[in-house]
Structure 1
Amino acid sequence: MLHNPDHVQILPLGGLGEIGMNMMAIEAEGKILLIDCGLMFPEAHMLGIDLVLPDITSLAERTADICALVLTHGHEDHIGALPYLYQQLGSPPIFASRFTLGLLKKKLEEFDLNLNKQFHQLEVRTPVTVGPFSVEPFRVAHSVPDGFGLAIRTPAGLIIHSGDFKLDTTPLDGECTDLARLGQFGDEGVLLLMSDSTNVESCGYSGSERQVGPRFVELMKQSQGMVFVATFSSNIHRIQQAVDAARASGRKIILHGRSILNNAAVARHLDQLRIPEHELIDIKQLDHYPRHKIAVITTGSQGEPRSALTRIAADEHPDFSITSDDCVILSSRFIPGNEKAITSVINQLYRRGATVHYQRTSGVHVSGHACREELMQLLSLVRPKNFIPIHGEYRHLAQHAQLAQEQGVESNHTAIVENGQPVLISRHGIKRLEPIASGRVLVDGKGVGDVGEIELRDRHRLARHGTVLAVLAISRSTGAILHGPELLSRGCIPEFDQQNWLHDATVKVEQMLDENHLSAATDWDDLRIEIRQTISRFFKRSLQRRPLVLPIIIQL
């Protein structure tokens, strides 16, 4: 527990060394302020996993010290883990913007959670005091409305957390990143800047959101068929531009997908999304209009397996199909790890005759994250004493740290930190502390945290080499074999040749059993190991395959 007022401790729990799952703990005078509580979507090797959450084991004994959870904005990688982890965190008060709280309330309804009494609405340039912290939100432009950066005053000094941001001078809602306030923070003196690293590899500027709208209008007017626009459901500004383009091209609008409908409902209620009611049609009215008079705004821009666009591309959707006149717009970036899934969907759409537009070909997306010149501008405005890059894979963090040093931050006042690495911040620099246990909590269906590395390893073996089941019935009293060994296989051996291979493997098991001279004193666990090793050796030597072997011994 930290009590020295000249120091503040930073503990990243997610988002440093990866894209997504953002969560940070800041400790001063024995109290903890949490920033964000996000999830990550599974990587390719996480077979069967639905979501990935931060590991908060290190906070288990400190929940009484958590004075608040502050959310920077409403993206899933910043708020999505909250329904799963909130009670484990000791149910602290939640501070966020009006729109972020609106999205969160809708999300919590799906979990039958009502935390309205814990909600506290933040306003820009209006500090709130929680424990030893004074938290002042400042406006940042991003790809979701009502986003904040945070100025956190601690006994040790002022900390700036950029949130996800860009320096868009003409954002759709007119809410630019508050450069004037950032400059004032710099004049005040900033102990630590923690800044978004996502786009540090991209030179120049990220581009304005307003660039996308005219392109949407152009493509919708050109299309002779139905237009599908796939984007993130929280990107309300992008949805607004798709709506405006549909209206400009004389098309009725269908909002499709649960998350699109939920987020659009929240945004319309809070006047962040404007769609005249007469322009919206229900999917049941699809046959009432010609195809060239319809625009569908949907999900699936990342090739998610059960998303609407993926099912449409596979011709498995009950309501939509693709014709040669149709136009499909994927209005989002290719998130690392999703490239294969996205390109597979694009290929399927092309096979069905659609014209497909995406970031690499058609200028239908601009990033919501600051590029290199914008990151340099933030550093020059804030002029921090210490710098920690956040929100990125390790290469992003390393390049951002180098950029900060080029902008004048001393090397011993810059640190590349990953999840689970606490650091102590003072005017003298950054000191690394002993790393803590940190990892990822996997969500599979209704199970949270019950799938780990062993289960993932077994799933990989099943996926790559199949399984072999060995069944053996043995007399408990005499050790005599009453049935078997009987071998069954799935996904390991071609069906036409299965019996021959299984026969040869069975012979090997029988030979091993003869050598073991079974008796009533047999250690059945050791026998299972012997059977597993015998079958594994056989298939590795004969077929160079490593199936998952499951011995089943029935004692009668």
Structure 2
Amino acid sequence: PVGTIVHTGDFKLDPTPVDGQTTDTDFLRQLGDEGVRLLLADSTNVERPGHTLSERCVGETFRQILPGCRGRVIVATFSSNIHRIQQVFDAAFSSNRKVLVNGRSMIANIAVARRLGCLAVRDSQLVDLQTFNGLPPREALLLTTGSQGEPLSTLTRMAAGDHKQLAIEPGDTVILSSKFIPGNEKAIYSLINQLYRRGAEVHYETTSEIHVSGHAAQDELQTLHCWIRPRTFVPVHGEYRHLVKHAHLARQSCPDCETIVLGNGQSLTLDTETAQYGPEFETGRIFVDGRGVGDLTGVELRDRRHLAHHGVVNVILAVNQKTGSLLYGPEIFSRGFITEETGGTLLQEAETAVRAVLAEHSLARITDWDELRVEVRKALRRLFNKKLDRRPLILPIILTL
């Protein structure tokens, strides 16, 4: 073996964790004393100075909010955050509220956590849907997922009025107890606006302390580096700027530590003496389509996107290749563009435009039918752009007999 490798995963140094199990600092110091060949550490909050707040701060906020709520309380959070879920149940118990757990992942994770003794929940606290809907509003709390505005989540459907069994009522309080993941802001704020339209009061990370990060800030990262003192450090879990800044922070804490920043797909070759860049591997999105994995091309995706936005127009005609006479068509029909009911006149104009293109060519002398398809496509594109300012996918199908 080349030595000890330490990978932190997502971490922070919480002095007052919900379950009372603090970080084993003696063990980490011992690892550093014995020598660590490589440290890979969480970089997400490297831009934040100081120390990440304790998870218990969220529980205190819950206990402040719930007693003043005159209606039902709906709490949305990540189903993997068992400590957060514990604090929801604790606050519900102290405010005499029964809890309905909703969402497959939430139900499954709570069941596993209770079975392992990681979550203390009284059976009397839990109710089913029918009982929940019959409770006085001041005695009801719904615990669910959907804090990121996921379109099919229970909370989003409740906000839109699309849920058959649960609804947002005026006076309800909704708590989004999670971070706004970058890229989800539009969906989340749309959800919040819909909740307010239905008369709910909404608490989220920019208005209340209903979320604290699970990632270490600068002071905690420096403490970790001083404990571990690795020979080589590789920052992980963050955008590239986070990795670079974490490498800089590590050099400040441990001047003798070698730092290596790896991009996505870049490997590291490690032995007892050296650490260096290894071969690169292809990374990124892999599209799954039915039973096909990774076989979708950029052209196919572009065509699907075009179809989704603009629709498709098919032009079918048959030509006697010897005489040049038109045997069938042109027949024009569309999907996702216009219908005969709404655009019958335009389809007639499109047929006229195609006939005009055919009239300009001696069909009996054509050797390159692809050229004729291009001309038909151009003529229809000009027509549709002029009339509707739209650009459907145009597929001329010319049968030669």
TM, length-normalised to structure 2? 0.88
Partner of 2:134 in structure 1? 288
Aligned with residue 266 of structure 2, among 418, 421, 424: 421
Partner of 2:277 in structure 1? 432
Distance 2:383 2:252 in 1: 59
Partner of 2:184 in structure 1? 338
Deviates more, 1:396-405 or 1:312-321: 396-405
Partner of 2:20 in structure 1? 174
Contact 1:471 1:552 (8 Å CA) reproduced = yes
Aligned with residue 311 of structure 1, among 157, 163, 166: 157
- Given residue 259 of structure 2, which amino acid in structure 1 is its aligned partner? T
Deviation (angstroms), 1:389: 1.4
1:362 counterpart SS class: coil
1:460 matches 2:299: no
Is the alpha carbon distance of 1:245 and 1:524 closer, same or farther for their aligned partners in structure 2, counting shifts above 3 Å? farther
Partner of 2:316 in structure 1? 472
1:484 matches 2:329: yes
1:384 matches 2:230: yes
Distance 1:203 1:429 in 2: 32
Contact 1:470 1:550 (8 Å CA) reproduced = yes
Distance 1:311 1:260 in 2: 17
- Given residue 271 of structure 1, which amino acid in structure 2 is its aligned partner? G
Contact 2:86 2:119 (8 Å CA) reproduced = yes
Distance 1:350 1:170 in 2: 35
Distance 2:260 2:383 in 1: 51
- Given residue 191 of structure 1, which amino acid in structure 2 is its aligned partner? R
Distance 2:75 2:329 in 1: 58
1:157 counterpart SS class: coil
Partner of 1:134 in structure 2? none
Distance 2:357 2:39 in 1: 65
Distance 1:305 1:477 in 2: 53
Distance 2:388 2:220 in 1: 56
Aligned with residue 227 of structure 1, among 73, 77, 97: 73
Partner of 1:214 in structure 2? 60
Higher-helix-fraction structure: 2
1:374 matches 2:220: yes
Larger radius of gyration: 2
Deviation (angstroms), 1:280: 0.8
2:315 counterpart SS class: strand
Deviation (angstroms), 1:471: 2.5
Distance 2:196 2:111 in 1: 32
Distance 1:495 1:396 in 2: 56
Contact 2:321 2:363 (8 Å CA) reproduced = no
Deviations 1:205-246 (A, max 9, x none): 221111111211221111100100001111111111111111
Deviation (angstroms), 1:482: 3.5
1:198 matches 2:48: no
Partner of 2:120 in structure 1? 274
Partner of 1:299 in structure 2? 145
Partner of 1:241 in structure 2? 87
Unaligned ranges ≥5, structure 2: none
Deviation (angstroms), 1:492: 5.3
Distance 2:85 2:99 in 1: 11
Contact 1:252 1:293 (8 Å CA) reproduced = yes
Is the alpha carbon distance of 1:181 and 1:548 closer, same or farther for their aligned partners in structure 2, counting shifts above 3 Å? farther
Aligned with residue 198 of structure 2, among 342, 352, 363: 352
Deviation (angstroms), 1:555: 6.6
Unaligned ranges ≥5, structure 1: 1-154
Contact 1:469 1:552 (8 Å CA) reproduced = no
1:265 counterpart SS class: helix
Distance 2:35 2:371 in 1: 66
- Given residue 115 of structure 2, which amino acid in structure 1 is its aligned partner? H
- Given residue 391 of structure 1, which amino acid in structure 2 is its aligned partner? H
1:189 matches 2:55: no
Contact 2:78 2:147 (8 Å CA) reproduced = yes
1:194 counterpart SS class: strand
Is the alpha carbon distance of 1:550 and 1:202 closer, same or farther for their aligned partners in structure 2, counting shifts above 3 Å? farther
1:361 counterpart SS class: coil
Aligned with residue 209 of structure 2, among 341, 363, 366: 363
Is the alpha carbon distance of 1:221 and 1:425 closer, same or farther for their aligned partners in structure 2, counting shifts above 3 Å? same
Deviates more, 1:180-189 or 1:261-270: 180-189
Partner of 1:24 in structure 2? none
Deviates more, 1:201-210 or 1:329-338: 201-210
Distance 1:400 1:351 in 2: 43
Distance 2:11 2:244 in 1: 19
How large is the Cα RMSD of the aligned pairs? 3.1
Distance 1:393 1:476 in 2: 62
Contact 1:385 1:409 (8 Å CA) reproduced = no
Contact 2:233 2:247 (8 Å CA) reproduced = yes
Deviates more, 1:300-309 or 1:400-409: 400-409
Is the alpha carbon distance of 1:503 and 1:210 closer, same or farther for their aligned partners in structure 2, counting shifts above 3 Å? same
Is the alpha carbon distance of 1:257 and 1:513 closer, same or farther for their aligned partners in structure 2, counting shifts above 3 Å? same
Q: How many residues align?
A: 400
Is the alpha carbon distance of 1:529 and 1:237 closer, same or farther for their aligned partners in structure 2, counting shifts above 3 Å? farther
- Given residue 404 of structure 1, which amino acid in structure 2 is its aligned partner? A
Distance 2:225 2:294 in 1: 39
- Given residue 468 of structure 1, which amino acid in structure 2 is its aligned partner? V
Distance 2:47 2:334 in 1: 48
Contact 2:10 2:215 (8 Å CA) reproduced = yes
Distance 1:378 1:496 in 2: 69
- Given residue 67 of structure 2, which amino acid in structure 1 is its aligned partner? K
Is the alpha carbon distance of 1:162 and 1:278 closer, same or farther for their aligned partners in structure 2, counting shifts above 3 Å? same
1:323 matches 2:169: yes
Deviation (angstroms), 1:287: 3.5
1:440 counterpart SS class: coil
Over the matched positions of the two proteins, sequence identity in percent amounts to 50
Distance 1:384 1:183 in 2: 11
Deviations 1:64-99 (A, max 9, x none): xxxxxxxxxxxxxxxxxxxxxxxxxxxxxxxxxxxx
Distance 2:71 2:242 in 1: 41
- Given residue 348 of structure 1, which amino acid in structure 2 is its aligned partner? Q
Distance 1:445 1:204 in 2: 48
1:549 matches 2:394: yes
- Given residue 32 of structure 2, which amino acid in structure 1 is its aligned partner? G
1:369 counterpart SS class: coil
